[in-house]
Copies of this chain bind each other. A is one copy, B any other.
Amino acid sequence: MVRDGAVSGGATPSHPTAETVARACLTAVASPGDPAMGRAIATHGAVAVWRAVREERPLAAPSERDASGFAVRLRRWRARAQRVDGEALLARADDLGVRVAVPGDPEWPRQLDDLAEARPYALWMRGARDLRHCCLRSVAVVGSRAASSYGLHATGELCYALAERGWVTVSGGAYGIDGAAHRAALTGGAATVAVLACGLDVAYPRGHENLFADVGSAGVLVTEHPPGTLPSRHAFLVRNRLIAALTPGTVVVEAGPRSGALNTASHARELCRTLMAVPGPVTSALSSGCHRLLRDFQAVCVTEAADVIEQVGQIGADLRPQTATVLDPAELDELSRRVLAALPQRTTVGTATVAAAAEVDLDTALRTLGVLAAGGFVERGETGWRARSAP
Within 8 Å of chain B (Cβ to Cβ): is A304? yes
Are A265 and B391 touching (Cβ within 8 A)? yes
Are A234 and B371 touching (Cβ within 8 A)? yes
A274 to B11, CA, bound (A): 57
Stretch at the interface among A137-145, A212-220, A295-303: A295-303
Within 8 Å of chain B (Cβ to Cβ): is A32? yes
A113 to B59, CA, bound (A): 72
Within 8 Å of chain B (Cβ to Cβ): is A375? yes
Within 8 A of B (CB), among A1-34: 31-34
Are B295 and A301 touching (Cβ within 8 A)? yes
For A391, list chain B residues within 8 Å (CB). Answer: 262-263, 265-266, 269, 293, 297
Are B294 and A294 touching (Cβ within 8 A)? yes
Main secondary structure of the interface of A (DSSP, over half): helix
Are A327 and B294 touching (Cβ within 8 A)? no
Q: Which of B234, B279, B283, B333 lies in contact with A375, CB distance below 8 A?
A: B234
Give the Cβ gap from A390 to chain B, nearest Cβ, in Å. Answer: 6
Interface pairs (11), CB distance under 8 Å: A35-B373, A65-B382, A68-B350, A68-B351, A68-B352, A69-B362, A237-B374, A238-B374, A267-B376, A280-B280, A295-B307
Extra contacts, 14 of them, besides A258-B327, A265-B391 (Cβ < 8 A), are: A31-B370, A35-B380, A68-B366, A72-B366, A150-B283, A154-B283, A234-B371, A257-B326, A258-B328, A258-B331, A262-B390, A269-B391, A279-B291, A288-B303
